[in-house]
Chains A and B, each alone.
Chain A
Amino acid sequence: MTIKDMADILSAKVLIGADKLDIPVHTACCSDLMSDVLAFVDEKTVLITGLTNPHVVRTSEMLDLKCLVFARGKIPAEDILESAEEQGLAVLATKLTAFTACGMLYEHGLRGVPVPTAWDDGEEDG
């Protein structure tokens, strides 16, 4: 799916990056733990989060992420959006909770990033 498809599914507002809606999204990650994001995510992943602090955007830059989704109607402060724009991120905001947003995206075929776990049995799990 593309960022545009995601915005439609989530009835999301496009806060930044109206010109980036055609970019494809391969996998998703939903987390408020930036270290988990830094550990597992790659640049083709969309990050769904409830955190709206500057670290979400800085973490995204470190990973070359293309798209961020803020859940539960949260809108980050203007300066945070500005740095997202500077980086070329697309930023969406949905009224849905993170749980519901993920559920709907999953229903439409989007899957999690494959992540190795501490109790790894050799199989990867999104």
Chain B
Amino acid sequence: MEALFTTQYPVAKADYVSAGKASQDIKRRLKQLGIGGDVLRRVAVASYEVELNLVIHSEGGTLTLTLYPDCVELNSVDVGPGIADVSMAMREGWSTANDEARALGFGAGMGLPNMKRNADDFSIQSELGKGTVIDMRFHLPGWQGEQT
């Protein structure tokens, strides 16, 4: 199905001050288009977690929002360092977050499991020395494109 729009958000490594602003914008945009309730909250939670991971764990990357008439797609691509053991990283409570991230309330090791739980489709590909790609989809039953 053809995308209604797509927006890219560059996310910088260790930029704790701005971290979360892309997700804030994503949530506000989708809300303006009449997407709300449970699905919007799931998108927002997953988006926040994936964005914070880019800030905390990656060398920087891009978060992309794409809206289709029947789903929201979030895609995160970073330039490294990649994850050595993805199945370990997917476990609740497993984290390599530094003290700075922990002081802000992150590093509980719940981010990736949270994304998986909230997204209708979730996939992660990671290669050490290269980077990590995460794709998430959220179905929009009953939302038939923008009203405007």
Residues on A lying within 8 angstroms of B by beta carbon are 32-39, 42-43, 51, 53-56, 58-59, 61-64, 118
Contacts and interface: CB of A to CB of B under 8 A. Distances in A.
B24 A58 contact: yes
A33 B41 contact: no
Contact of B48 (A32, A43, A54, A62): A62
A51 B104 CA distance: 8
Contact of A58 (B48, B107, B111, B117): B48
Nearest to A34: B105
A38 to B, nearest CB: 5
B26 to A, nearest CB: 10
Contact of A38 (B24, B45, B104): B45
Contact of B105 (A55, A62, A64, A118): A55
Interface residues of B, number: 26
Nearest to A56: B105
Contacts of A35: 49, 105-111, 114
A55 B16 CA distance: 9
B71 interface: no
Interface string B95-139: 000000000111111110110010000000000000000000000
A62 B27 contact: yes
B41 A43 contact: yes
A61 B92 contact: no
Given A54-B20, A118-B92, A62 B45 contact: yes
B19 interface: yes
Given A59-B48, A64-B41, A34 B106 contact: yes
Query: Which residue of B23, B92, B110 has the most chain A CB atoms within 10 A of its CB atom?
Result: B110
